[in-house]
Each structure stands twice: as structure tokens, then as C-alpha cells.
């Protein structure tokens, strides 16, 4: 932009750009390790998720006109394109989970390919878990009429599929990508599941909206949650300098076959015993034994 064009503006563009550069480079610098790097692309990750969904369930998320003669060709083509894209996004993300020692930065490309290969090898196991979740939805919701309805119309199931993919990447070390995927799911479904949470088979979120599951939550087999359930932390311990201590177990353990109804909030490293039922709008900060039935009225009477 010429000086003459700049004078026509009602603000001083040159000065403003300089001030932002000063903030970015000096006074308010927040770059990871102080260096500029390519960030993973949200648009590319959404494209990758579209491809992975299509590879896992080709006719539901890929092409509805596929036949037995061409379905494998379709899956192979989708995986070929999608996994190459994923490797590049993993490569970009590796920098942001690195610490001070970047001596092996030139090996990120190979590390990304190795990580993506391991992820690809795990896709059949991921699909098996997702199928167990779909079956749980089918058996747990009397309004469900078909598997197709569940895959196409249930936001809780969509969020769980995103979680299964993100968790696999999180476990392999692609943590920024995993968080990115969980945020994509959150924005689409209203369900916020941290990819570090451990969720066993047969998991079903009915309705979905407003569910929050924290990083260190552990959920057993055949657990059902309803909308607006929170499995959160009660407090955040800090060190002697006031900095939050990260990595500690601080979210609930929910054992097998537990049902938690709408609006319930369970906080802290407490254990909900197997086969228990937690009623709607309950605020729970202590463990309960197996086969418990906790209602709001019981909580208010304490």
C-alpha cells in the first residue's frame, strides 16, 4: 500500500501493524518455544474426518450408492488419500507437543508416517468399538428404529465416533490433533469429550447436548449418559508457586452398566459403582457403592 493510499485511511495502518508486531514478537509473545511453525489446519482435519468416517462406514458417510462390487475400491481410495493427509497434519502437530529439545525435528516427517501407520492398523479395533456403541444406542433408546438412523441422526453417537478417533491419536502421541478433533466434535454436536478420557465399549450418550467428560475420566462398559451430564474435576491442585499441577487424576471413575440421567454433575476422583443409577440434576462429589440409586431428593436431605 502506498503512502498516499495509507493517508486516505481513517487509521494509521503502518503504526498499527508495527504495534501488533511488537506485541507478537516481544511484549506479549506466546509462541510455543518462541518459534513460528505451520499449525495443523482445521479445514484439512475436517476433510480427514470425513474420509475416516467414510472408510469406517462407507454407505452411511461415504457414498450411499455403493455396491458389494465397488465398496472395497472406494474404501481403499479414501484411505489412500486420507491417511496421507493425516500424516502431514500429524507432522505439523508434533512440533507443538515437543519440549525444549528439538534436535530430532528433522525426523518429524518419519515419525508422523510411523504414527499414522500405527493409527491405520488400529482402525478395525476403532470400528469394533464404534459398533459396540451403536448397538448400545439401539438397545438403550426405545425411539431408535435402525442402525442407519443412529449413525445419521444421533449427535451423541457422532461425538463418540469423533472421540474414538481422537483417543487413538491421543494415545499415540498426536495430542494437539486429538484435541483439535474433540473441538470439531464439540462445535458440531454440543458434546465435549476430552480425548484423554478412557471410555470402554458399549458407550451411549442419549440426546447429547451439553455433556462434558474430562481428561482423566474413566468409564466402564455399557455406560449410558443423558444430556447435560458433567463428569468434571472438583478442584485443581497447585504447586508452591500457584501453578496448576497437570496430569493428576481428577475426574470420576464410572464403573460398568451405570446410567446417569440428564443434568447430573459428578465431580472429583470419585467412583460410581457398577450398575448404579444417578438421577437427573444430582450434584455428586463422593463415591457411591455398586447398585446405588441416587436421586436429587436424597442429596437434598443430606
Model-level pTM? Answer: 0.90
Per-residue confidence (pLDDT) for residue 239, from 0 to 100? 73
CATH of domain 40-192: 1.10.3130.10
Alpha-carbon distance 229 to 232, whole Å? 9
Q: What is the mean pLDDT of residues 161-173?
A: 97
pLDDT for 34 equals 55
* Mean pLDDT, rounded, for 247-276: 96
* Strand (E) or helix (H) holding 283: strand 283-284
Q: Check residue 292 and give its pLDDT.
A: 97
Asked if the domains 40-192 and 197-302 are classified in one and the same CATH topology, the answer is no
The pLDDT value given to residue 296: 82
| Domain-wise residue ranges, the chain | 40-192, 197-302
Residue 214 or 103, more confident: 214
Q: pLDDT tens digit string along 10-68?
A: 888 899 999 998 888 888 877 665 565 788 999 999 999 999 999 999 999 999 999 99
Q: How far apart are CA 291 and CA 217, in angstroms?
A: 20
Q: Are 232 and 266 in contact (CB under 8 A)?
A: yes
Domain spanning 197-302: CATH superfamily = Hexapeptide repeat proteins (2.160.10.10)
**Per-residue pLDDT averaged across 284-302, rounded?**
85
Predicted confidence at residue 43, as pLDDT, reads: 96
8 A C-beta contact, residue 270 and residue 283: no
Residue 258 pLDDT level (bands cut at 50, 70, 90): very high
What share of the chain has pLDDT > 70, as a percent? 90
Mean pLDDT of the chain: 91
Question: What is the percent of the chain where pLDDT is above 90?
Answer: 76
Query: Which residues share a beta bridge with 198?
Result: 218
Please answer whether residues 93 and 119 qualify as being in contact, where contact means their C-beta atoms are separated by less than 8 angstroms.
no
The CB density around residue 200, as the number of other CB atoms within 10 Å, is 16
pLDDT digits 0-9 by tens, 234-248: 877 777 677 777 778
For residue 83, pLDDT over 70 is answered with yes
Task: Look at 296 and 271; give whichever has higher pLDDT.
Answer: 271
Q: What is the pLDDT of residues 94-145, one digit of tens each?
A: 888 766 556 667 788 999 999 999 999 999 999 999 999 999 999 999 999 9
| Residue 270 · residue 287 · CB < 8 Å | yes
Amino acid at each position: 500500500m502506498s503512502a498516499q493510499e495509507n493517508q486516505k485511511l481513517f487509521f494509521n495502518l503502518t503504526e498499527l501493524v508495527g504495534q501488533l508486531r511488537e506485541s507478537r514478537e516481544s511484549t506479549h509473545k506466546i509462541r510455543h518455544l518462541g518459534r513460528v511453525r505451520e499449525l495443523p489446519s482445521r479445514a484439512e482435519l475436517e476433510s480427514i474426518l470425513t474420509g475416516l468416517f467414510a472408510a469406517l462406514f462407507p454407505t452411511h458417510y461415504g457414498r450411499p450408492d455403493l455396491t458389494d462390487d465397488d465398496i472395497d475400491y472406494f474404501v481403499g481410495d479414501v484411505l489412500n488419500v486420507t491417511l496421507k493427509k493425516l500424516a502431514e497434519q500429524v507432522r505439523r502437530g508434533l512440533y507443538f507437543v515437543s519440549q525444549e529439545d528439538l534436535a530430532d525435528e528433522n525426523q518429524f516427517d518419519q515419525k508422523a508416517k510411523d504414527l499414522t501407520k500405527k493409527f491405520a492398523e488400529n482402525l478395525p479395533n476403532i470400528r469394533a468399538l464404534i459398533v459396540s456403541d451403536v448397538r448400545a444406542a439401539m438397545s438403550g433408546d426405545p425411539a431408535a428404529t435402525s442402525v442407519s438412523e443412529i449413525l445419521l441422526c444421533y449427535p451423541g453417537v457422532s461425538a463418540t465416533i469423533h472421540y474414538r478417533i481422537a483417543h487413538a491419536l491421543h494415545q499415540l502421541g498426536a495430542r494437539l490433533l486429538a484435541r483439535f478433533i474433540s473441538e470439531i466434535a464439540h462445535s458440531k454436536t454440543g458434546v465435549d469429550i476430552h480425548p484423554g478420557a478412557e471410555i470402554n465399549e458399549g458407550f451411549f450418550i442419549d440426546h447429547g447436548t451439553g455433556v462434558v467428560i474430562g481428561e482423566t475420566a474413566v468409564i466402564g462398559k455399557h455406560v449410558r449418559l443423558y444430556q447435560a451430564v458433567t463428569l468434571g474435576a472438583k478442584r485443581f491442585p497447585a504447586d508452591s508457586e500457584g501453578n496448576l499441577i497437570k496430569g493428576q487424576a481428577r475426574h470420576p471413575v464410572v464403573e460398568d452398566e451405570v446410567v446417569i440421567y440428564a443434568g447430573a454433575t459428578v465431580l472429583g476422583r470419585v467412583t460410581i459403582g457398577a450398575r448404579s443409577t444417578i438421577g437427573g440434576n444430582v450434584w455428586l462429589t463422593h463415591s457411591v457403592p455398586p447398585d446405588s440409586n441416587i436421586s436429587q431428593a436424597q442429596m437434598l436431605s443430606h
